[in-house]
Amino acid sequence: MAKTNLDEFAYKAIINLILKNHFKPGDVLLETELSESLGLSRTPVRHALGQLIAEGFLDKKKKKGCFIPLTTPEDARHVFYAREHIEGLAAASAARCATDGDVEYLYGLIDKENKVQNPGTHASKLLYVEINEAFHLSIARFSQNKYLEQYCRHAFCRSNVYIFFFDKYYSSLTLDGQVSGPRQHLEIADAIENRNEEKAEHLMRQHVRTTFEQLFIKL
């Protein structure tokens, strides 16, 4: 796992636990428990929890501890609204700033995405999630604006909580075989390659909104 300090190890471990649906919204994360289960002292765990709170992935009440934020339809709308617009902004910036190599990288990801084997299996889902994340975060990075990138990352991760929570999303997607992701990804990459800022922004917004709507079709 490369040479990393325990703070970071704890941070990633906890994020993983959250994303892997190990906790439910409202659950309390105890420093003591976590440190025991991770085989660390409380110090790095506490530090990691502090980060997560600062980043808005956890909530906290004084002397009461950290807990997984409650997922509500309203909150979901808020994250996705933010994601839609900020990622749109990043896509526009990327269309302006991305290098040829950057664009190539995007096409590479789309290629991988299209070659995912055995749709419907758990492994294929994980792979798809991974590629999807790489695609979105790459565009954020290609905006070459550290702040936009930071906000994109945050909103993306935060929205992932919902995606993992309502796991049915990926199930339903693969069920009807109509995975709109890759197609939309391709269009976005094209717009970036053509340096068409407005189109890139528009398509990215639409793409994020599609994701949201497919997720929350039942709300």
Partner DNA sequence: TTCTTGACTTATGTATACATTAGTATCTTC
Partner DNA sequence: GAAGATACTAATGTATACATAAGTCAAGAA
Binding site for DNA (CB under 7 A): 5-7, 28-32, 40-44, 46, 62-66
Check if the beta carbon of residue 139 is closer than 8 Å to that of residue 185: no
Interface size with a second copy, residues (CB under 8 A): 27
Tokens for 210, please give them: 């599609």
CB nearer to DNA: give 62 or 218. Answer: 62
**Minimum CB separation from a second copy for residue 35, in Å?**
15
CA–CA separation, 35 vs 52, rounded Å?
Answer: 15
Per-residue binding string, a second copy, 102-141, x by CB under 8 A, is ----------------------------------------
Tell me: does residue 89 bind a second copy (CB under 8 A).
yes
CA–CA separation, 155 vs 51, rounded Å?
Answer: 16
CA–CA separation, 66 vs 72, rounded Å?
Answer: 18
- Cα atoms found within 13 Å of the Cα of residue 185, Cβ hemisphere only: 26
CB nearer to a second copy: give 23 or 81. Answer: 81
CA 81 to chain centre: 14
Check if the beta carbon of residue 135 is closer than 8 Å to that of residue 106: yes
37 to 66, contacts with a second copy by CB under 8 A? Answer: 46-47, 50-51, 54-56, 62
**Minimum CB separation from DNA for residue 21, in Å?**
21
Per-residue binding string, a second copy, 1-40, x by CB under 8 A, is ----x-x---------------------------------
Counts of helices then strands in the chain (DSSP H, E): 10, 3
Phi, psi of 123 (to 5 degrees): -60, -40
Positions in the binding site for a second copy (CB under 8 A): 5, 7, 46-47, 50-51, 54-56, 62, 75, 78-79, 81-82, 85-86, 89, 145-148, 150-151, 154-155, 158
